[in-house]
Amino acid sequence: MFEARGLTKRYQTLLAVNDVNFTIGPGEILGYLGPNGSGKSTTINMVVGLLEPSSGWTALFGQRLDEHPEDYKRRVGYVPEEPHVYTHLTAIEYLELVGRLRRLPSRLLHEKIATLLQLFDLWDSRFLAMAGFSKGMRQRVLLCAALMHGPDLLVLDEPFSGLDVNAGMLYRILMPLPTTPMAWLVVASILGLVGGALRWFRRLTWGIYPLEFEDYLPSGINELRLE
C-alpha cells in the first residue's frame, strides 16, 4: 500500500502543494487530475523522491522515503511526461542498462525485455537507435523500463501525451492486468484521456491557482470510486 500524508512544498513565499493526503492499495489505480500549474508534477516529484517535501511524508507498505530512501526507490517505477532517453542506444541496450542498474539477474532481465518489447509493439525496432524513435515509441521504452523490476508503485506522469493510438489501446489493456498487484498513480490534465482505464479519481484542489473542476468531476465531488 502507498500512503502520502501531509505532503507540502513551499518555494519561499509560494505554496506550490499544500497538505496532500491519499492512499493507494495494491491493484488500485488512482487518477490524479488537475490543470497545468495545479501542483501535479510537484507532487509526483515528491512521491518518487526527486524533490524533498517541505513537510509531510510518503511510504510504501510502511517504509517511508525519508527513512529508507534506497529501499523505497527500488520499489517504484516512474515514467515522466517527457521521454528523455539515451538516444544513441537501441531499445534493448537501454533496457539492459536499466535492468543492470536494478540488479536484475541476467536471464530474468532478458526474458522481461523480450516480453515487454513484444507487448508494447517495439520488438521489430529493438536493434534501432532511439534517435530515430518518435516520442510515443520512446515513451513505450520508458514504460518497459518502469515495469521490468515489478514495482510496488507505478507512477505515470501524463502517460498519453505522446502515445499513438495503437500504444494507447495497448496501454489500456495492460493497466488492469499487472503481473503482480501494484499501486498505480496516473497524472493527467484531462479526465477523458485516462478515464476509461482508471479505477478511481482524485482531483487536485490545491496548488498555485484557485481552480474550477467542473471539467474533471461533477461539482462538489473531490473523489470518485468506480465499483
pLDDT band at 199 (very low <50, low <70, confident <90, very high): very low
Amino acid at 186: V
Segment 97-140, tens digit of pLDDT: 999 999 999 999 999 999 999 888 899 999 999 999 998 899 88
pLDDT band at 193 (very low <50, low <70, confident <90, very high): very low
Give me the chain's average pLDDT, please. Answer: 78
Pairing relationship of beta strands 153-157 and 200-203 according to DSSP bridges:
unpaired
Query: In angstroms, rounded to a whole number, what is the distance separating the alpha carbons of residues 75 and 73?
Result: 5
pLDDT at 9 over 70: yes
Amino acid at 23: T
Answer yes or no: pTM beyond 0.85.
no
Give the single-character DSSP code of 163. Answer: -
Q: What's phi and psi for 147, nearest 5 deg?
A: -95, -15
